[in-house]
């Protein structure tokens, strides 16, 4: 987790009853391909599916080396799960359609589609066909027609996954439009009585993170359910809720069995009968993504929320800005991290149910400081100041410049070891630092995930590490006796994703990393 997050520790990790809050089962209308994104209608559900209806368009797209049908929208009757019908062509076109939201009167439907309208396909500057939101009106024969594009769409970013609040005065959605904090954020627009739309508003840092926050759903009570891969969870996308009576200032993980190490997303909930649906790509399913139904057995009880805050100073009492401050649990597991602000302050939201935490402060040219504290409901807002003593003209041995310089990941093309343009930008930061501190020596360490053979990964990582070191020496003009490179393959995994263990892309990504370790000062 990075510096702007305000994360509430999840209910699933701190309560013993989270696994008993829901009962779930696979719905009967899933197929052997991808089915997801259920939405309520008065008569049943609308959902997205790859199931091949052999329609006239019958277009295919290539994914993971296989030709597959594009997603289309289907309706399933709530009284007969075998009564499944594809929506007509006014809505379902040649490319992907998914995730819908209906107005209270059932006469208007918002839905997600690739950037395809009036038989024209548009792509962004990277030749990617992005997502847009459209609105359709129910016709006299019950079909959907009169499709119109929403005015805040754009050819250069995606807008997707709509949901409406209880009085249909706000339309919520996910987007990576300018102003987004991470890969995608949750936004909303107001809908006026004359059906015009306001300016998109970002829900802010409590909800949105530096990762993907997406698939929003607003319940009739006004609670916000959404999926995130960055708020603390079980792995991949997890489902979270932010309660309206807390004014969306707290985040609660729905826990097991809703959430797993797989992607769990696109949840809808009927508060009257305490039932709902969600989507997941967990292994127990029938297809790639499947729709599950659930019943809430125990209402959510919000955890005790507290804070740990303080200031970072040097040995003389002078504030230190941009210091790395890391929050860990008693077992050393990292829970959150941020940088001290312009006043030297840091702040973490935490659970205060008699929990012990450690706070570590680091910064290049300073000795690190570690403090521990115990937080209870009676003492739930401890102040813990950190003191980092300056190291005169030295950089501590063992420091990883990747973290200290906030380097973006060093990526390589598949099976290649040459330096890409985006990687070169990050390496220039290392070069500049080594010129600023001419006595330090570093070792470039390259790591892979566990996919591929052990021997191949070791050799590939070694080539990449040495190619990186050579760039720093040849292009950066750094003496060769100050830089070495070594590949470690998959021998130093950061998590449990070893050979034969099924992990998400996000979990594998944690192991594919480059390090720049100070070995001499």
pLDDT at 379: 85
Element at 460 (helix H, strand E): helix 454-474
pLDDT at 8: 33
Distance between CA atoms of 258 and 225, rounded to whole angstroms?
12
Q: Is residue 3 part of a domain?
A: no
Distance between CA atoms of 216 and 223, rounded to whole angstroms?
10
Tally of domains within the chain: 3
Same domain? 279 vs 351: no
Cα distances from 116 to residues 4, 88, 94, 122, 175, in angstroms, run: 35, 16, 8, 6, 17
Same domain? 380 vs 414: no
The pLDDT-based confidence of 303 (bands split at 50, 70, 90) is: low
What are the tens digits of pLDDT across the range 367-394? 899 999 998 867 889 999 999 988 765 5
The pLDDT-based confidence of 66 (bands split at 50, 70, 90) is: low
In the predicted model, is pLDDT for residue 6 greater than 60? no
Same domain? 337 vs 279: no
Q: Identify which of 226-235, 407-416, 510-519 has the greatest average pLDDT.
A: 226-235
What are the tens digits of pLDDT across the range 9-44? 333 333 333 557 899 999 999 999 999 999 999 999
Same domain? 55 vs 194: yes
Which position has the higher pLDDT, 417 or 46? 46
What is the torsional sign of CA 360, 361, 362, 368? Answer: negative
Nearest to 193 by CA among 221, 213, 169, 166: 169
Other CB atoms within 10 A of residue 136 CB? 22
**For position 436, which CATH number holds?**
3.30.1330.60
Same domain? 108 vs 247: yes
What are the tens digits of pLDDT across the range 333-355? 999 999 999 999 999 998 876 68
Which of 354, 388, 422 is the C-terminal boundary of a domain?
Answer: 388
Question: Residues 6 or more apart from 126 whose CB is under 8 A from it?
Answer: none
Same domain? 213 vs 287: yes
In the predicted model, is pLDDT for residue 1 greater than 70? no
- Give yes or no for a contact between 330 and 356, defined as CB atoms under 8 angstroms apart: yes
Nearest to 110 by CA among 161, 73, 44, 153: 161
Same domain? 116 vs 215: yes
pLDDT at 76: 94
Q: Is residue 180 part of a domain?
A: yes
- Mean per-residue pLDDT, 429-446: 90
In the predicted model, is pLDDT for residue 431 greater than 50? yes
Domain interval for residue 124: 11-296
Same domain? 360 vs 291: no
pLDDT, averaged across the chain = 86
Examine residue 151 and say whether the peptide bond preceding it is cis (omega within 30 degrees of 0).
Answer: no
């Amino acid at each position: 987790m990075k510096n702007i997050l305000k994360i509430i520790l999840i209910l699933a990790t701190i309560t013993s009853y989270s696994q008993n809050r829901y009962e779930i089962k696979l719905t009967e209308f899933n197929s052997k391909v991808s089915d997801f994104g259920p939405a309520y209608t008065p008569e049943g559900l609308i959902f997205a599916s790859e199931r091949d209806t052999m329609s006239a368009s019958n277009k295919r797209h290539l994914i993971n080396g296989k030709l597959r049908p594009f997603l289309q929208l289907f309706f399933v009757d709530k009284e007969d799960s075998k009564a499944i019908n594809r929506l007509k062509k006014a809505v379902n076109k040649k490319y992907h359609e998914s995730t819908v939201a209906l107005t209270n009167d059932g006469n208007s439907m918002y839905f997600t589609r690739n950037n395809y309208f009036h038989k024209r396909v548009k792509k962004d500057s990277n030749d990617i066909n992005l997502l847009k939101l459209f609105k359709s009106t129910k016709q006299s024969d019950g079909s959907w027609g009169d499709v119109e594009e929403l005015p805040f769409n754009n050819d250069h970013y995606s807008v997707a996954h709509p949901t409406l609040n209880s009085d249909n005065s706000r339309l919520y959605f996910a987007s990576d439009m300018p102003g987004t904090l991470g890969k995608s954020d949750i936004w909303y627009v107001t809908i006026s009585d004359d059906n015009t739309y306001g300016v998109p508003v970002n829900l802010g840092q409590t909800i949105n993170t530096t990762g993907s926050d997406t698939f929003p759903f607003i319940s009739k009570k006004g609670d916000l359910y959404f999926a995130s891969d960055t708020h603390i969870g079980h792995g991949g996308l997890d489902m979270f809720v932010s309660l309206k009576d807390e004014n969306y200032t707290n985040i609660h993980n729905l826990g097991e069995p809703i959430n797993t190490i797989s992607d769990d997303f696109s949840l809808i909930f009927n508060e009257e009968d305490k039932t709902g649906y969600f989507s997941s790509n967990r292994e127990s399913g029938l297809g790639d993504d499947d729709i599950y139904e659930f019943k809430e057995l125990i209402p959510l009880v919000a955890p005790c929320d507290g804070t740990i805050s303080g200031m970072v100073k040097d040995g003389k009492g002078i504030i230190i800005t941009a210091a790395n401050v890391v929050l860990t649990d008693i077992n050393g597991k990292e829970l959150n991290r941020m940088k001290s602000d312009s006043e030297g302050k840091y702040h973490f939201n935490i659970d205060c149910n008699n929990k012990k935490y450690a706070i570590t402060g680091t910064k290049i040219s300073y000795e690190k400081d570690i403090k521990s504290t115990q937080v209870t409901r009676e003492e739930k807002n401890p102040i813990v100041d950190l003191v980092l003593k300056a190291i005169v003209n030295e950089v501590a041995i063992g420091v990883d410049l990747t973290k200290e310089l906030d380097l973006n990941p060093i990526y390589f093309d598949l099976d290649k070891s040459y330096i890409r343009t985006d990687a070169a930008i990050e390496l220039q930061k290392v070069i500049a630092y080594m010129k600023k501190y001419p006595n330090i020596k570093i070792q470039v360490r390259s790591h892979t995930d566990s996919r591929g053979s052990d021997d191949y990964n070791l050799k590939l990582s070694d080539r990449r590490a040495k190619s990186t070191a050579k760039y720093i020496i040849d292009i950066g003009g750094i003496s060769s006796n100050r830089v070495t490179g070594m590949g470690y393959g998959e021998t130093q995994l950061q998590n449990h994703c070893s050979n034969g263990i099924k992990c998400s892309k996000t979990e594998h990504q944690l192991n594919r990393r480059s390090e720049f370790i100070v070995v001499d000062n």
